[in-house]
Amino acid sequence: MNIDIDKIMQILDNTYEANNLISSMEEADDPYKLLISCLLSLRTKDETTYPAAKRLFKLAGTPQDMIKLNPKIIEETIYPVGFYHNKTQTILTISKLLIEQYDGKVPADMDKLLEFKGVGRKTANLVLARGFKIPAICVDTHVHRISNRLGYVKTKNPEETEMTLRKNLPSKWWFTINTVLVRHGQETCKPTAARCFECPVEKYCLKVDVKMAKYTKPKIK
């Protein structure tokens, strides 16, 4: 079975855009706000991250304004994101470095982004793609898992998945794949108990190592 990735991505893109499921963080085009939002999102659910980011950016939307804030104020503002104390220190450190080394601007360079403590390839790629419109593929656990379940890649970790997708995925989907597959992973193609019976691309999927949820017939009211 050949994997028609164009067909799959088109169906999923239409499905989730139609339902207005694209997150406000991923729609952001300000590299600094996007970088800080990504840091806040680590090990934190979306429904906690986005309100926290909005609260913080009302107080400070630039590195210059951020370093003026008392750390306690930042902690209180972003709470209850996970590891809010450590994230506050990371945000302040990165903000200071941006001012000292890059005139307060986020560098549009993968290697330079990776030099910041707390910034990994996932975050760097998202900042490059969303903030600078530079072709990049952001691979998180959802993108890694679903790409393998589909049978489109056969990789052991997100970094391998990123490199394989860079070789094989049509460039028109590079900006889209993270948003679409993250939502698909949250709504349907879950880590355990995947809801294949609700999946719009079920017939195109090889279901590699998939553990399906039990189908429960909806009750008629």
Partners of 212 in the β-ladder: 194
The SS3 of residue 140 is coil
Active site residue 65: no
Q: Which of 7, 122, 133, 221 is catalytic?
A: 122
Closest by CA position to 175, among listed 145, 135, 147: 135
CA separation for the pair 56, 49 (Å, rounded)? 11
**H runs (alpha helix) in 79-138:** 84-102, 110-114, 121-126, 132
Angle, helices 31-41/46-59, rounded to nearest 10 degrees: 140
Phi, psi of 194 (to 5 degrees): -65, 140
Q: Rg for the chain (alpha carbons), in Å? A: 19
Of the residues 4, 109, 140, 211, only one is catalytic, namely 140
The rounded distance, in Å, linking the Cα atoms of 195 and 188 is: 5
Give the residue from 125, 158, 121 showing the smallest Cα distance to 34.
Answer: 125
The answer to whether 46 is a known catalytic residue is: no
160 CB-near residues (< 8 Å, 6+ apart): 153
Residue 157, Ramachandran bin (φ over 0: left; ψ between -120 and 50: alpha; else beta): beta
Which residues form the catalytic set?
122, 140
